[in-house]
Chains A and B, each alone.
Chain A
Amino acid sequence: MSDVAFRIPLVVLSDIGRVISLMFIGAGLLWILVRSLRAKEVDRRIVFLFIFIAVAAPILFPITFQERATLIVRRLFDKVESLPAGSRVLLAFDFDPAMAPEVQPMADAISRHCLTKGHKVVFMTLWATGQALLTQSLERVVKGEFPEKLDGVDYINLGFKAGNENVLNIIVTDFRMMFPTDVNGVPLDSTSIFDDIRSCKDLDLIISMGGGKPGIKEWVLYVGDRVNVPLGAGVAAVVAPQLYPYYPKQLLGLLGGVKGAAEYESELVRQYPHLEERGTPGLRMMGPQTLAHMVIMAFIVIGNISYFISRRRERKR
C-alpha cells in the first residue's frame, strides 16, 4: 500500500512533465510561426533550443510508442527465429562509438535473440574501435544474461583483424588463415564451435551491423554474393538508403537506424515477453526521436509558409 502510495506521485509527476513540455513546445512553435509571418528573423539558437527540449523532455518524462516490424525487418527476425537451435550465426560488429547509439541496441537485440534460440554465435569486427564495443556487448548481454553459455562452445569472440575488406576476402574460403585464434589466444581448432566451420560457406546466417567502410556493402560484395549463406544487415540511418537496392535479393533484411532497432526489439519482446525486462533501448529512444521529428517537420512547414509569404510580399512590392 505504501509502495503504491509512493509510486503514484512519480507517475503523476511524469504525466505532468510530459504535458507541460508538450505545451511548451506547442506554444513555442506557435510563437515562431507568428514571428515568421511577421517577417521577423528567428535566431537559429532558438531552433537548437527547441530540438534540445524535444529530445530531453521525452527522456526525462518517457513517451513510448507501439512498434510493428515492417517487412524488411521482419524477414531478418523470421530467419533468426526459424533457424534450428545449434545453427551457426556470425555477427559482425562493424561500427564505432559514433554509431553506437543507433547500432548498439540492434546488435544487443540480435545477440539476445540468437542466444535465446540456442544458436552458436561467432562474434567478430572489422573496425578497430568496434572491438571495445563488442567486448562491452559480450559482458552485458552474453555473460550478463546468459551465464550458462560457454565461450568456445556456444559462442566465440574472434575480435578485430586489420585489413578491411581483405579480411572478408580470406574468411570466405578459410577462417583460420585470418583468425588462427580467438581474441583470448585460444586456437580455433581447440574450440568445439569451430569443429564444423572452415569458412563462411559453413555458416547458416551472417548479420553485419555498422554503417561505414568496411561495412555492409563489402560484406555483400566479398561474402554475400559469393557464398550461399543468407546475409542480413543492421545499419546507421545515414547509410540505410544506399543499401535498399540490395534488398531483397542480396540482403535478406535490413534494420535502418534506431527505428529498425525498435522494430526488432518490439518483435523480440512480442515473441519472448520475458526479454522485456532486460531493456529495450531502441524502443525507449523512439519517444524523443518521434517528438524531435515532429518539431523538425513543424519547422519545415513554418519555414515554407514564411518563404511563400515573403515571396508574395516581394512580388506585391
Chain B
Amino acid sequence: MKCRSLIAFLLVLCAFTLTGAQEGIGPPDSISADSTRGDSILPPAPVGNLKAWDTDDDHGHSVTLEWEISSDDGAGQNSVLSYEIFRWTPFFMDTLKGIRNSLAQTEAYIAELQAFLPRAKKRLKVHRKGEPGVGFADSVAFYVDTIAASERWLPLHKDRLGQLRRERAQAIDMIPQAHKSYPEQGEWRKVGTALSGQTSYVDAGVKEKVSGDYLADHADYYYRVDAVTADSTIRTSSEIAGPVQSYGQFFNTGRIPVFVAVIVFTFLTVFFVTKARRGADLYVRPLAGIEAVDDAIGRATEMGKPILYVLGLGTAADIGTIASFTILGRVAKRVAEYQTKLIVPCYDPIVMTVAQEIVKSAYLDAGRPDDYYEDIVYFVTQSQFAYVAAVNGTMLRELPATNMYMGVFFAESLILAETGALAGSIQIAGTDQVAQLPFFIVACDYTLIGEELYAASAYLGREPILLGSLKAQDYAKAAVMVLALLGLIAVNLDWTAFTDLFVVAK
C-alpha cells in the first residue's frame, strides 16, 4: 500500500517536471484546467474585449491597447497578479537584430582601431628614439607589424560597415512586408507588463530606425494579453487583436486649446497694430508714475539739482530696457526744455550707445542741441555691485533731486533705492522683475509695476506697435476675466463640457 502510494506520488512528480521542461521559448498559449498542482491555482479568466489601435495625437510608432480586466482580478478567484502583453514578431526581426549587432561590433572595432593607431605610432616613435637593448628590435618590429596590420584591416572593416548599413536599411524597409507573414513565420514575444487592475497599455517604440526599439509604422501588428497569476506558468491568453498599424498624425488634437489661443491672440495683436498704424486713437489710461515724472522734473529744475536716470542691468534686447528707452526719450526732452542736468550711468555698452542716440535726438527735438554733451550718458562697469557702488557714489556726491529707475533690476535694486532715499531724492521706479518690485514699492515714491512699465512706454511713445500690442493684451485680459467667470459657473454647476475645453493633452 505504502509502496504504491509512493510510486503514484513519484509519477505525479515526474509528470509535473516533464510538463515544466516542455515549455519552449515563449509560454504556452494557455494551461488547461487538468494540469493543476497540489495547491490548485486554477487558470484565471481571460481579459475581455481586447482592442488595439494606433495611439492618437503622436508622431507614430506607438499602439494603444485596452481591455476589460479579468473577472478573477480583484474578484472571483482574485488570482490575477499582472497582465503580460505579447506582440506577434516575425523571425525576420531576429535577422535584423543580428545585422544591428554586427554593425555595433564593427563600429566598436573600427573605433578601437582608430584610437589604437595614433597611440601605436607615438609609441613606435618613442621606441625608435630609445636606446637599442634587449628586446629593442622585437618591440619595434611588433609595433611596425601591428600598425601595418591595423592599417590593412581598417579599410576592410569600413567597407564591411558600409555594407552592413546598407543591409540594415534594406531590412528596415522590409519590416512591414515581414509582418504580413502572420501567423506562420514568427512567434509571440512579450513587450510589456501591466499590473492587476490596469486596463490599458501603450506599446511605444522609437522613431529612430537605427535603434533596437524602433517600431515601424504601417506594419500589421497583432497583440495578445495574458492574465497571469502568482505562478507565472498558470495564465490565460486573450483573443488576438489586430491587425493594427501605427502612423503619425499631422495635428495633435489634444492641443487645440493652445492652437485657438495662439490664433486669437495673434489676430488681436495684428488687428490693433494695424488699427494704430492707420491713425486710430487708442486710449490708454493715465499712469500715476508717469504723471509724476513731469512734476519731478519740475522739482529738480526749481532746486537746481540734477536728475539721475538708471536704465537697469538688462541688455538692449530685454523688453524692460526697450520700454525704458522710450521713457528716457521723454524725460530727456523735458530736461532739455527746462535746461536741467541729466545723469545717465549705464551698465551695458550697447545700452549706452542706444541711450546716447536717444538723448541726443531728444535734445535736438527740444531745440537745444548745443546743451547736449557726451558725458550725460556714460558707461560705468559690467559688474553688478561695482556698478551699484559707482551709482551710489554719484547719488551721494551729486545729490540729485529726482532718481528714476526704469528697466531690468536684480539684487541691487534695494541698495539703489535706499541710497536714493538717504540722499533725499524723489524716486520713481519701474521694473518687470517681480522679485524686485517689493523693494521698489517700499523705498520709492512711485512704482510702475510690471506691465505698467510697458504701458508707460506705449503711453509716452505712442508707437503703433506698442499701442496695438497693449490693446491686444487688454482684450486678452478681458477674455480671461470672462472665461474665468464662465469657468467658475461651470465648475459650480458641474458643466464639465466647458471645463474640458481647457484641458491640454500632454
Contacts and interface: CB of A to CB of B under 8 A. Distances in A.
B506 A225 contact: yes
B506 A227 contact: yes
Nearest to A242: B434
B435 A228 contact: no
B398 interface: no
Nearest to A238: B435
B206 interface: yes
Contacts of A149: none
A316 B506 CA distance: 66
Given A225-B506, A226-B506, A228-B506, 4 more contacts: A198-B206, A227-B506, A239-B435, A242-B435
Contacts of A239: 435
B85 to A, nearest CB: 15
A267 B375 CA distance: 60
Interface in B433-462: 434-435
A250 to B, nearest CB: 11
Contacts of A225: 504, 506
A228 B503 CA distance: 13
A255 to B, nearest CB: 18
A198 B506 contact: no
A306 B84 CA distance: 75
B318 to A, nearest CB: 13
Interface of A: 198, 225-228, 238-239, 242
Contacts of B504: 225
A-B residue pairs, 10 tightest by C-beta:
A228-B506, A227-B506, A238-B435, A242-B434, A226-B506, A198-B206, A225-B506, A242-B435, A198-B213, A239-B435
Nearest to A177: B208
A130 B478 CA distance: 42
A198 B205 CA distance: 10
Contacts, number: 11
A237 B309 CA distance: 31
A226 B206 CA distance: 17
A227 B504 CA distance: 11
A198 B202 CA distance: 15
Q: Which of B434, B435, B504, B506 has the most chain A CB atoms closer than 10 A to its own CB? A: B506
A228 B57 CA distance: 14
Contacts of B506: 225-228
Interface string B188-212: 0000000000000000001000000
Contacts of A242: 434-435
Nearest to B206: A198
Contacts of A226: 506
A198 B307 CA distance: 58
Nearest to A98: B411
B262 to A, nearest CB: 15
Contacts of A227: 506
A187 B206 CA distance: 19
A226 B504 CA distance: 9
A227 B506 CA distance: 5
Interface in B482-506: 504, 506
Interface in B405-451: 434-435
B492 to A, nearest CB: 18
Contacts of A198: 206, 213
B426 to A, nearest CB: 19
A242 B206 CA distance: 37
B420 to A, nearest CB: 16
Interface in B207-227: 213
A198 B213 CA distance: 10
B253 to A, nearest CB: 16
A10 B213 CA distance: 64
Nearest to B213: A198
Contacts of B434: 242
Interface in B55-104: none
A239 B436 CA distance: 11
A226 B213 CA distance: 22
A228 B505 CA distance: 9
Contacts of B435: 238-239, 242
11 contacts: A198-B206, A198-B213, A225-B504, A225-B506, A226-B506, A227-B506, A228-B506, A238-B435, A239-B435, A242-B434, A242-B435
Contacts of A228: 506
Nearest to A202: B204
Nearest to B505: A228
A185 to B, nearest CB: 13
A198 B211 CA distance: 11
B436 to A, nearest CB: 10
A227 B206 CA distance: 16
A147 B473 CA distance: 56
A239 B411 CA distance: 12
A192 to B, nearest CB: 16
A205 to B, nearest CB: 15
A225 B435 CA distance: 24
A228 B254 CA distance: 13
A198 B204 CA distance: 11
A120 B284 CA distance: 56
Nearest to A225: B506
Interface in B2-31: none
A239 B433 CA distance: 11
Nearest to B59: A173
B437 to A, nearest CB: 11
Q: Which of A198, A225, A239 has the most chain B CB atoms closer than 10 A to its own CB? A: A198
Nearest to B205: A198
A240 to B, nearest CB: 10
Interface string B33-74: 000000000000000000000000000000000000000000
B167 to A, nearest CB: 22
Nearest to B104: A189
Interface in B108-141: none
Nearest to B504: A225
B223 to A, nearest CB: 20
A242 to B, nearest CB: 6
A198 B435 CA distance: 37
Nearest to A84: B195
B32 to A, nearest CB: 34
A228 B506 CA distance: 6
